[in-house]
Amino acid sequence: MYLNILIGDVLARMRIENAVASTALRRDLDLQTIALSLDNAEYEPEKFPSLIYQLEESKAVILLFRSSEAVCTAASVIKDVRVAICKVAKQIETMGIEIELDPLIIVQNIVASSDLEQEAHLNVIDISLCLERVEYGPGQFPRLAYRFDDPKIVLLIFRSGRLVYTGAKKPHMIIDAANRLQKSLEWLD
């Protein structure tokens, strides 16, 4: 999914890279039984406490926990999260396991990226933004982190001009953050 944003005089095309959401399917799940019945399922409890299920038709991955929690990750379109979780729920139900087929799904995090297609002058940006919200240590890591209060999003700005937004719950929150960043940096034009 792509979103268009304007930063300074540069129109950047933003892409949702990863959406993470969670839900509860029922009380307890027998992960061993489910793993044996699902193609592309991996369950090694001594290495990781959840069943990992890779959907064939998308890059979405479902993590199923014994407690009935299901986490969907690696979806690049929000609607794919619902499709993936509901598909897994239906497959589990066909095994004779009672399960919530239309569970409440809560988006936990959206990660989006864009590229300004020009170098970002991190020292200038560091000085321009509110110091309490900026984390920049060029000797430690070659990026600037800017923390928005509302919405609660972290923006990573790399010297190459690549931007990575993380922490959003809805796509419009990323656009709001980008617009606020643009207003903060308008004087640089």
Regarding whether 167 and 144 lie in a shared domain, the answer is yes
Output DSSP code: residue 188.
G
φ, ψ of residue 86 to 5 degrees: the values are -65, -35
Residue 21 covered by a domain: no
In this predicted model, what pLDDT tens digit does every residue of 97-143 receive, in sequence order? 888 888 999 999 999 998 877 888 888 888 777 777 889 888 888 89
Mean pLDDT, the chain, whole residue set: 86
Most confident of 44-48, 76-80, 92-96: 44-48
Q: Which range of residues forms the domain containing residue 157?
A: 2-15+109-188
Residue 5 has pLDDT above 70, yes or no: no
Residue 154 covered by a domain: yes
Mean pLDDT, residues 46-61:
91
Domain boundary among 102, 125, 159: 102
- The strand ranges marked E within 31-159 are 41-42, 50-54, 61-65, 69-75, 106-115, 134-136, 143-147, 154-158
Regarding whether 91 and 115 lie in a shared domain, the answer is no
Enter the pTM of the model: 0.82
Domain boundary among 69, 102, 135: 102
pLDDT band at residue 76 under the 50/70/90 scheme: confident
Residue 158 covered by a domain: yes
Regarding whether 125 and 80 lie in a shared domain, the answer is no
pLDDT band at residue 12 under the 50/70/90 scheme: low
Higher pLDDT, 124 or 3: 124
Burial class (CB in 10 A: 0-12, 13-18, 19+), 183: exposed
Cα dist from 5 to 61, 97, 151, 162, 163, whole Å: 28, 45, 16, 13, 12
CATH number at residue 82: 3.30.310.10
